Amino acid sequence: MPKVTIQKKTKLSANEAFQKVKTLLENDHDLKKLDAAYKTTFDEKGLTGEANGKMFKAHMNVKNAGSGSEIEIVVDLPLALVLVKGVVESTLNKKLEQIV
């Protein structure tokens, strides 16, 4: 499976960044358009989350980095969707830029 890895550094605390990304993954209409069937689960203590759908699987991790935090989202796409890899990557980058 092709992977898309998005990493963002932010000045937000790890907990603040986690909450913002969690809200984004749970509620964003543009992401739902990519796979309306995806479901999310989160581990608030570990600052991690999963999104699983028919079209992709994704793992999110937030960790402390200096005076801020770092967000990493890794998306596994099936071979049939390799052509939309760039769309997925740019959509996630744009969404993360807006919230952090």
List, in order, residues 6 or more apart from 95 with CB less than 8 Å away.
24, 28, 30, 31
Q: Which amino acid is at 75?
A: V
How many distinct structural domains can be found in the chain? 1
Residue 10 lies in domain: 3-99
Q: Could you read off the pLDDT tens digit of each residue along the chain, which spans 100 residues?
A: 789 999 999 999 999 999 999 999 898 888 888 788 889 999 999 999 999 988 889 999 999 999 999 999 999 988 877 777 888 888 888 989 988 8
pLDDT confidence of residue 32: 81
CATH number of the domain that residue 56 is part of: 3.30.530.20
Task: Tell me what pLDDT residue 11 has.
Answer: 95
